[in-house]
Amino acid sequence: MKKQILSFLFIGSALASWSQAQIANSDFETWETVASGQEPTNWNSFLTAGGSLSGFASDQCASSTDVRPGTTGTKSLRIFSKSVLGVIANGNCTVGKINMGSASPTNASNYNSSIITDANFSEAFTDSPDSLVFWAKFTPASGNTTDSARVATIIHDNYAFRDPSDAASLTHIVATAIKNYGKTGGNWVRISVPFTYSGPASTPAFILLTFATNKTPGGGSANDEVLIDDMELIYNVTGIEEVSESPVQVVNANGKITFKAKEGASLAVTITSSEGQIIAKGNTDQTFNITTAGVYFVHMYSNEEEYVQKIAVY
């Protein structure tokens, strides 16, 4: 529960430096004892919930030594569902605060929220990331192929935002990165979710992020499990500038990348992720297919010029 100051990634040169905000303890390496269990530092579970039924909260959040491949850490976040008198309580971990107001999972008095007057239950945030990236291992206990876990990230203005959103909260959204994802077959999977800056608010002040074992309150079955590791907010690659005078137009049909030559030109192409990883190479006579959601940069090269266009895949 205890909050830490936002961590920053500093990148510098002799001429410039800048910072990119990250959510503290996003690798889930640091834990603290609360109530009758543990929570990752800077995050909250049912053990620190509020609401009229908070006295009935159970421990559905734990540290795990099952970590994603290639990590330098030793711990991940484990959340899991329980059956309480035949009602499924989804595993739930958030940087806000859980409100337990009803025994009916879909009741509007059950929600997570940013308690903007309490730093223990809110995350101040004023940046504009392009995407959220994290590693997940989702195992539905029933093996049901239709079950989906959920991540919901909302950047909002200076308001006590709720998720699921009530009518008042909807007017305070700056950007969202929300994804339902299916079982991962016992494997760790890297998931990228782009932010959509659709407003109607425009001044970021807080971020509310929640991981849950099911996309539907009360959905799934008892003992569904989600492991989360090494979460990161991704920002534009600094120094890349998009240009509009390219002789070839990029056509993005949600990951199917084709090109329209304005002057019969054929250019060399390199597609990179927002982290700078090369995804594909070729030329503008080809079609490229990107199947992983995220923000990408299409680099097109003539003999003397480089043209760059940013695209998003959902």
pLDDT (tens digit per residue) in 220-229? 999 999 999 9
Q: CA 8 to CA 112: how far, in whole Å?
A: 25
Q: What is the pLDDT of residues 15-60, one digit of tens each?
A: 223 347 899 999 999 999 998 899 999 999 999 999 999 998 999 9
Residues 175 and 270 in one domain: no
Instruction: Give me the domain span that covers residue 267.
Output: 248-313
Query: pLDDT-derived band of residue 145, with 50, 70 and 90 as boundaries?
Result: confident
Residue 263 has pLDDT above 70, yes or no: no
Q: Which stretch of 28-37, 234-243, 291-300 has the lowest confidence by average pLDDT?
A: 234-243
Rounded to an integer, the average pLDDT of 284-293 is 91
Residue 210 has pLDDT above 90, yes or no: yes
Residues 227 and 124 in one domain: yes
Domain boundary among 188, 203, 234: 234
CATH of the domain at 159: 2.60.120.890
Characterise 35 by phi-psi region: left (phi > 0), alpha (psi -120 to 50), beta (else): left
Residue 97 counted as domain residue: yes
Query: pLDDT-derived band of residue 10, with 50, 70 and 90 as boundaries?
Result: very low
Domain boundary among 234, 264, 294: 234
> CB pairs under 8 A, 24+ apart, for 242-249?
242/308, 242/309, 242/310, 243/307, 243/308, 245/307, 246/300, 246/307, 246/309, 247/302, 248/284, 248/300, 248/307
Residue 239 counted as domain residue: no
Residues 183 and 274 in one domain: no
Q: CA 161 to CA 114: how far, in whole Å?
A: 5
Residues 280 and 185 in one domain: no
Task: Give me the residues paired with residue 260 across strands.
Answer: 249
Residue 143 counted as domain residue: yes
Residues 55 and 182 in one domain: yes
Residues 77 and 170 in one domain: yes
Helix (H, G, I), strand (E, B) or coil at 193: strand
Residues 130 and 262 in one domain: no
Residues 256 and 212 in one domain: no
- In the numeric block, the tokens 């030559």 are attached to 261
Domain boundary among 234, 260, 293: 234
Alpha helices (runs of H) in the chain, residue ranges in sequence order: 167-170
pLDDT of residue 15: 25
Rounded to an integer, the average pLDDT of 74-95 is 94
| Percentage with pLDDT > 70 across the chain | 88
Q: What is the mean pLDDT of the chain?
A: 87
Query: pLDDT-derived band of residue 266, with 50, 70 and 90 as boundaries?
Result: confident
Q: CA 308 to CA 118: how far, in whole Å?
A: 43
Residues 228 and 301 in one domain: no
Residues 182 and 279 in one domain: no
Residue 159 has pLDDT above 60, yes or no: yes
Tally of domains within the chain: 2
Residue 243 counted as domain residue: no
* Residue 197 backbone phi and psi in degrees, to 5: -95, 80
Residues 78 and 216 in one domain: yes
